[in-house]
Structure 1
């Protein structure tokens, strides 16, 4: 588990090499008038200090702009007045401005990563002042800060994306965030992002091992998927929000892990069923198809094969993916339910629409569209090591998809760990939450682990429940108990 950032106070030390004038202490008031405008002028720093060499003298600190010991940079009139008053001595003086000197704003600016958006959660009693608050923040931090927004209402939409009002600056919500060595590009108005969860992202990913297969049901723009891929895991990443998937694709490329991530834009249940559905439609042909996957897409509209799905990170349309055995056997269907499609972006037009291959079979001619889905991609119906369910407001509702999802005759190795996030109020207990999970799966959970992530309200906390999926969740599929494996 990654450690928290440690505050090194010595990093804020600023050393000033100054000139000082040694004078009799009783003349401090008179000489300070003569040197007015030429003494050190810094907030909370006194320009007249005690002299360690003598109790009878004091040191007047001169401005950083005065560099010559002969005081030739001071007007003759002031120097003559100083000479007429007393004998003085110009000496070097070193002053260090440490952590205690700097205000919080200065410290935080030095520590925190750069960004142009300020996100406010203004309480109801301060709403009449919201534009004033935003204007002060904007004025005092520009040009670094370009946009100040306030969260409006509660999150109610299906994508769990907050609504914002722009209080000051430009309406530009496209930004970039850096976490644990990864870069995340996003549009803050279209996708969900919470920087407070950085340490939780690191904690969970620290449990993954290189070479493991991760299934992220609510992946967002990739806060779990990207670092997991960077660690050497392979990630099946899904999100219902098409904009989240769009930025997930971008972030995978920016962080150079696109070969370790397959992104989907589907309903989470359909996504899980799709991953566990065998592609039994591999045809028997003379062509070498071992490096590609073949998926037949039936379009209810009758307009022909869909071009939207591929082994890359394409939008999956609301259609049925049908897999049929090559000898005319039964077929299985997975209904893909997706959100309303967003307008196409220029960078969505990838040159990855596949190609057509025609061949003859005993059953007749076939024509299918092939995509760049390499068989080096893990077979998800055989093995998944971790399933991440990061949708605290509703993840429990999706646990039912795990019941009877895996087919025992194809599964290899241990059952996956499930990491399910949820909210818990002060009048609830982990025991009651565990009972809810066991009731949904109709199984006893062994060795459950509850991790308290953070408090989100006075009486509400976010937790992560981790457990290994019970063996009773297997689909026994007794009808095909002795059927040979297809691959």
Structure 2
């Protein structure tokens, strides 16, 4: 139920009866220094203003403490210094502080009932302000939104509030627009990339910017990335800008539409291929060996060398949490990329065009290979990919079963990929608890897992990223049927 609180802006007007000194314009700086501490000191109010009676003069507005026309509240020594510069002419000066002067916090404290907690912050995505108004404040949501809109425009053009819990399969919250423009389509910028999105149709969380940067810093130019829950591309776009090839998937068709838009905006269409399907089906499709390729003689794989130093702490040593089996690596803040030993189709120094000729010249970033190699010609994911991103913390671990028997050993080249599985861990749970669930899905033991704590999402709930090398037991042997699926996790 909404309470109709009238926002009468005139009620917030405050008139100040002050004194001012008329001074020559050219002495403004000098007198400001002399009267330091005795001039009006209010945020966003200048103590030196134009004189309406003479453009050659200025008015130095005195502090509210100065009430005597003889200026007896100011030390005589300071007054004498001012008199040496000019004649002191004291005049009355009135100042009205209106609705536009006061901040949102001040206004809301005056409007809302006593004892009600005033909203102190909100999240922004482009020009959209996202409120999480608690139940106690819901009756006052419209006036709260209007004040926030008034006090933050033009930076904020739309104010929304989340309605209910997330129930749809795309994990997109439902919002109601409370103030401003009715459109929720906006644009944000992160780490040199631009993202266009409709906040009401797709998922976006500005608080994950540092995590996006952290994970992308692990990738190397030429790496092949599989992004199972890509959204509008917060991982895919900057990874592509770095020169990685990214197979990106999302179940939400609106997310994929905006991903394609963002690919064009950031000029990385050659580096990203978009899919709109179930995440398990996506992984199965990209590793399926195309007709003709399966008739070629596969490489002989003698062994898979595990890179023990891929995930290290900043001092270069692996951290042990001292858990029950000592196998969990915790809070690793700097992770080295695992692609240094793989057999790359495209080297970091020279790329080939579609006709096999090298593309020469030294140019920065992606421009060197634009017009030449693209993701279709450069990548064979059934032979190799370097990283898998699973950014769906509420349920990503449930999808780990897809990796059991996913890749065919006879076609695979180089090291097995790193899996980056985002998850929530409650205070009552431990890293080992989640690890056991992951291993059950994979039907294999995970060696040297890395747990990176990202942020607290609730008092007893935190978001983590579990990173590990895909166990070689997950290979599909020659006598296995394709895409053997592991047990589902309840």
TM-score (norm 1): 0.61
Equivalent residue, structure 2, for 1:475: 476
For 2:45 and 2:198, how far apart are their aligned partners in 1? 48
Equivalent residue, structure 2, for 1:18: 28
Equivalent residue, structure 2, for 1:88: 83
CA displacement at 1:377 relative to structure 2 = 3.2
CA displacement at 1:65 relative to structure 2 = 2.9
Equivalent residue, structure 2, for 1:460: 461
For 2:185 and 2:44, how far apart are their aligned partners in 1? 42
Equivalent residue, structure 1, for 2:212: 201
CA displacement at 1:216 relative to structure 2 = 0.2
Equivalent residue, structure 2, for 1:257: 268
* Aligned 1:286-297 pairs, distance under 5 A: none
Aligned length: 327
- Once the two structures are superposed, residues 57-112 of structure 1 have per-residue CA deviations (whole angstroms, 9 ceiling, x without a partner) of xxxxx7243699x995379xxxxx99xx9992337xxxxxxxxxxx999xxxxxx9
Equivalent residue, structure 2, for 1:156: 167
Secondary structure in 1 matching 2:397: helix
Equivalent residue, structure 2, for 1:192: 203
CA displacement at 1:175 relative to structure 2 = 0.2
For 1:379 and 1:164, how far apart are their aligned partners in 2? 41
Equivalent residue, structure 2, for 1:43: 42
CA displacement at 1:223 relative to structure 2 = 0.4
Structure 1 residues 44 and 388 mapped into 2: Cα distance closer, same or farther (>3 Å)?
closer
Structure 1 residues 114 and 472 mapped into 2: Cα distance closer, same or farther (>3 Å)?
closer
Structure 1 residues 474 and 176 mapped into 2: Cα distance closer, same or farther (>3 Å)?
same
CA displacement at 1:154 relative to structure 2 = 1.3
Equivalent residue, structure 2, for 1:166: 177
* Aligned 1:58-137 pairs, distance under 5 A: 63-65=48-50, 72-73=56-57, 88-90=83-85, 115-137=126-148
Equivalent residue, structure 2, for 1:304: none
CA displacement at 1:474 relative to structure 2 = 0.5
For 1:64 and 1:19, how far apart are their aligned partners in 2? 12
For 2:196 and 2:269, how far apart are their aligned partners in 1? 15
Is it true that 1:267 corresponds to 2:278 in the alignment?
yes
Equivalent residue, structure 2, for 1:212: 223
Structure 1 residues 468 and 21 mapped into 2: Cα distance closer, same or farther (>3 Å)?
closer
For 1:457 and 1:421, how far apart are their aligned partners in 2? 16
- Once the two structures are superposed, residues 262-313 of structure 1 have per-residue CA deviations (whole angstroms, 9 ceiling, x without a partner) of 01111101000001111115799xxxxxxxxxxxxxxxxxxxxxxxxxxxxx
Secondary structure in 1 matching 2:423: strand
Structure 1 residues 136 and 269 mapped into 2: Cα distance closer, same or farther (>3 Å)?
same
Equivalent residue, structure 1, for 2:436: 435
Contact 1:217 1:389 in 2 (8 A): yes
Structure 1 residues 434 and 46 mapped into 2: Cα distance closer, same or farther (>3 Å)?
closer
Equivalent residue, structure 2, for 1:483: none
Structure 1 residues 210 and 176 mapped into 2: Cα distance closer, same or farther (>3 Å)?
same
Aligned residues: CA RMSD: 3.7
Contact 1:19 1:66 in 2 (8 A): no
* Aligned 1:391-406 pairs, distance under 5 A: 391-406=392-407
Instruction: Name the structure with the higher strand share.
Output: 1
- Once the two structures are superposed, residues 28-80 of structure 1 have per-residue CA deviations (whole angstroms, 9 ceiling, x without a partner) of xxxxxxxxxxx965516999xxxxxxxxxxxxxx7243699x995379xxxxx
CA displacement at 1:412 relative to structure 2 = 0.4
Contact 2:287 2:406 in 1 (8 A): yes
Equivalent residue, structure 2, for 1:389: 390
Equivalent residue, structure 2, for 1:222: 233
Equivalent residue, structure 2, for 1:329: none
Structure 1 residues 148 and 413 mapped into 2: Cα distance closer, same or farther (>3 Å)?
same
Pick the structure with greater CA Rg: 1
Is it true that 1:232 corresponds to 2:233 in the alignment?
no
Contact 2:245 2:375 in 1 (8 A): no
